[in-house]
Amino acid sequence: MTRTMTLGKAINAGLRTAMEEDPKVVLMGEDIGRLGGVFRITDGLQKDFGEDRVIDTPLAESGIVGTAIGLALRGYRPVCEIQFDGFVYPAYDQIVAQLAKMHYRSAGRLTLPVTIRLPFGGGIGAVEHHSESPEGYFVHTAGLKVVACSTPAEANVMIRQAIASDDPVIFLEPKRRYHEKGEVEPEASLDDAFPLHASRVLREGGDCTVVAYGPMVRVALDAATAAAADSGPALEVIDLRSLSPLDMEPIYASVRKTGRLVVVHEAPGTLGVGAELAARVQEECFYSLESPVLRVTGFDTPYPPARVEDHYLPDLDRVLDAVDRSLAH
């Protein structure tokens, strides 16, 4: 049955379904039990599944992930909540040196089905360490899968797919979109779901391709609507969804049609996801390109104070300006 719910509630429903379907799924994190998490994503789950499956941990991110690795080696499917993006760094060693490498180190004999839920990005007026976009660190680490949801429907299905995966998954949640509503089918079978590691064309257009993920998907779609007003250019919008591995074929096909590409993300531009997309498109679609690939990103600075974050985050005007510059070539 289709229901209307927020993105945050959609993740909660996905966690609930995963726990109902598999008793080996356990949740771990700071204040996720009685409080339901700082964003209330796990609200009510400890009450229904007990303290042994929804575990309040000490304030120690390295300990959370390290314990999850041990549980996964014993057959569990842990789901870790990191309260904010900027808090993940104490767990960085456990994630990149242990979690990402165990499958390769054991020549495929061991799997670590650990999901790390990571609220990321800005736009909520938070203080420092609460609005970062650290995806580049994890995308650069072989052995990790990295995905980002953008809508309630995607969030509900993708969190279930991530938990069902035998590989460790960094699950990026756009915190500025937690309260946006959409249609969700919480009981839908994963057998019929859109693949977890596939990009998706959300809006078709023939003049310029715009690729985004997570919180920037809404901005890209708004830009397409604004651009099309008064018979303006038709933008083709693609939700990348999976940052590692990358599903490039829909992007190649789109660029071969439009001849232009604008990549939008909140993380700093230098050596980021946009840089990788630009390089691959240049290699595969060189003779189709009508203009340079352009990036609209955050800046190469620490995330700024809340009162000026609107100047840091890509917005409608910056995306449309990039589209105009692309079309001007």
Overall average pLDDT of the 120-136 stretch: 94
Three-state DSSP at 197 gives coil
Angstrom distance (rounded) from CA 325 to CA 137? 30
Percent of the chain whose pLDDT exceeds 70: 100
**pLDDT the model gives residue 244:** 98
Contacts of 195 (CB under 8 A, 6+ apart): none
> Which residue's structure tokens are 């809340």?
306
Overall average pLDDT of the 111-116 stretch: 98
**pLDDT the model gives residue 13:** 98
β-bridge pairing 242-244 and 145-148: antiparallel
Nearest C-alpha neighbor of 326 from the set 285, 294, 284: 294
Task: Flag whether pLDDT at 66 surpasses 80.
Answer: yes
Residue 1: pLDDT band with limits 50, 70, 90: confident
Task: Flag whether pLDDT at 230 surpasses 80.
Answer: no
Please check whether residue 86 is in contact with residue 129, taking contact to mean a CB–CB distance below 8 angstroms: yes
263-309 pLDDT per residue, tens: 999 999 999 999 999 999 999 999 999 999 999 999 999 999 999 99
Residue 127: pLDDT band with limits 50, 70, 90: confident
Sign of CA dihedral 54, 58, 61, 64: negative
Angstrom distance (rounded) from CA 173 to CA 201? 20
Angstrom distance (rounded) from CA 188 to CA 152? 14
As to burial, measured by CB atoms within 10 angstroms (0-12 exposed, 13-18 middle, 19+ buried), residue 178 is buried
135-158 pLDDT per residue, tens: 999 999 999 999 999 999 999 999
Angstrom distance (rounded) from CA 280 to CA 259? 14
Residue 197: CB atoms within 10 Å: 17
Residue 311 known to be catalytic: no
Listed as own residue / partner, the contacts of 315-321 with beta carbons closer than 8 Å and 24 or more positions apart are 315/219, 316/219, 316/222, 316/223, 316/226, 319/210, 319/219, 319/220, 319/223, 319/262, 319/264, 320/223, 320/226, 320/227
Nearest C-alpha neighbor of 261 from the set 319, 196, 188, 199: 319
169-214 pLDDT per residue, tens: 999 999 999 999 999 999 899 999 999 999 999 999 999 999 999 9
Listed as own residue / partner, the contacts of 223-231 with beta carbons closer than 8 Å and 24 or more positions apart are 223/316, 223/319, 223/320, 223/323, 226/316, 226/320, 227/320, 227/323
Q: Which of 130, 140, 179, 197 is catalytic?
A: 130
As to burial, measured by CB atoms within 10 angstroms (0-12 exposed, 13-18 middle, 19+ buried), residue 272 is buried
As to burial, measured by CB atoms within 10 angstroms (0-12 exposed, 13-18 middle, 19+ buried), residue 260 is buried
The rounded mean pLDDT for the chain is 97
Residue 231: pLDDT band with limits 50, 70, 90: confident
Comparing 128 with 167, which gets the higher pLDDT? 167
**pLDDT the model gives residue 103:** 96
Within 120-239, residue ranges assigned H as helices are 135-139, 152-164, 216-228
